Amino acid sequence: MYETTKLDNQLRIVTSSIPHASSVSIMILVGAGSRYENSEMAGLSHFLEHLPFKGSKNWPSARLISETIEGVGGIMNASTDREMTVFWCKVSTLHFKQAFAVLVDMILNPILDPQDMEKEREVIQEELRMTNDYPTQRVDLLIDELLWPNQAMGRDVGGTLESVSNISLEAVKDYMESQYNPANTVISVAGNITHREVTDLIESATSDWHPKESLPWENVKNGPGGCEVKLENRKTDQSHICIGLPGIPLDDPDRYALSLLNGIFGEGMSSRLFLNLREEQGLAYDVSSSLGHFRDCGSLVVYCGVEPQKTRTTISAIMHEFYGITQGITEFELIKAKEYAKGRLLLRMEDSRSVAAWMGTQELLLNKVSTVEEVIQEIDHVTEEDIERVSNRVITSENIKTAIVGPHRNCKGIPELLKF
């Protein structure tokens, strides 16, 4: 059961009371991510995410912040993606108010010291170099570039070495002033608390926080049609392959059917991809498919790592599985996929942090929160015909993109494999 309140300053609060829980998870979700940035300022949202941890008005150092939370056994962190930045902490119920005070002070009163910013700039640039060094992460970035070329959706959330070098303290302050405002923020709390308790606490702490107009997010532009292959030649022990297709948005009615299709196709050790490519053919140790859902777009991506000499055989096998899923599924596969999806969802909801993320993400991006019961009902209503319809809608060989990182000089013969 979820409860929501919108304060006079347009800050949205969503809570879930879990009486049996011994923890409370607090999340502050802000509409700030790579889709709000231009190419010159790429990485600004991620850069800003790092800085509140360096000190705030009432906890003026990174050490004080970490000791206040970790010193009572709590954990805290933050993350930035394309559409939001999330600050969170999880503590025992006894320390909820103290943890909340720290998190809110970090957001409302960060010090933003110039010296701290320069140190963090170097940390972030090392983070970008590390990402580039890992072929699994590099191939993920390449498939995004193919799916969404020359736009925010296709850029690394962390930016580039050049763009991060150019981000000024003034730009950080201006961006924070614009995006970190109550009308663009959701506070989500789950655990052994009451909605009234949380609302009163937040209302008191944010009474001087005023709404402003935020920057708009960049609408997705359709990428070029047709099959495309991007190869990055590297001396690696494996070929790292991503094969991607445009998917569907977060609020699309076909989302649940596509989720079940993905469960059958490539999610988990009983999926078609895993059983056929690994167990039967021995082509790959790691093979799976995943979905991405965003405000106005989405993706379906297959990843696998294989011996370089098996690259073309593996791509051909994946295309065979793509074709097979468009030809229909069995009643047993659908039943199994439904039970898998519902079971995973229910297990997630046992953790206060997962519940807070579930509520906050929906409220920020969709302006509504579906209950677990409502989602389970949607899952149960999916039919074999729904799966067939969504497979034909999404899985078309005309739009397949392929990214490869591995010891290959060229991609000769690969485009011809990307058909079924």
Which pLDDT score is estimated for 398?
A: 87
Topology of domain 3-205, CATH: Cytochrome Bc1 Complex; Chain A, domain 1 (3.30.830)
User: What confidence tens digit (pLDDT) does each residue in 359-382 have?
Assistant: 999 999 999 999 999 999 999 999
Q: Are 230 and 142 in contact (CB under 8 A)?
A: yes
pLDDT at 12 over 80: yes
- Residue 226: which pLDDT band, with cuts at 50, 70 and 90? confident
Give bridge partners of residue 136 from the DSSP assignment: none
User: What confidence tens digit (pLDDT) does each residue in 85-140 have?
Assistant: 999 999 999 999 999 999 999 999 999 999 999 999 999 999 999 999 999 999 99
User: What confidence tens digit (pLDDT) does each residue in 264-322 have?
Assistant: 999 999 999 999 999 999 999 999 999 999 999 999 999 999 999 999 999 999 999 99
Which pLDDT score is estimated for 1?
A: 79
| CA gap 222, 148 in Å, rounded | 7
What is this structure's pTM?
A: 0.96
Intrachain domains 3-205 and 228-417 with the same fold:
yes
pLDDT at 395 over 80: yes
| CA gap 300, 263 in Å, rounded | 12
- Residue 222: which pLDDT band, with cuts at 50, 70 and 90? confident
pLDDT at 223 over 90: no
Mean pLDDT of 318-342: 96
pLDDT at 224 over 90: no
Which pLDDT score is estimated for 420?
A: 81
What's the CATH architecture for 228-417?
A: 2-Layer Sandwich (3.30)
Mean pLDDT of 137-158: 96
Which pLDDT score is estimated for 240?
A: 97
Q: Are 45 and 122 in contact (CB under 8 A)?
A: no
Instruction: Give the CA angle between residues 119, 121, 127 to the nearest 5°.
Output: 110
Which pLDDT score is estimated for 309?
A: 96
User: What confidence tens digit (pLDDT) does each residue in 208-220 have?
Assistant: 999 999 999 999 9
**Domain chopping of the chain, boundaries:** 3-205, 228-417
User: What confidence tens digit (pLDDT) does each residue in 38-72 have?
Assistant: 999 999 999 999 999 999 999 999 999 999 999 99
Structure tokens at 15: 């809570």
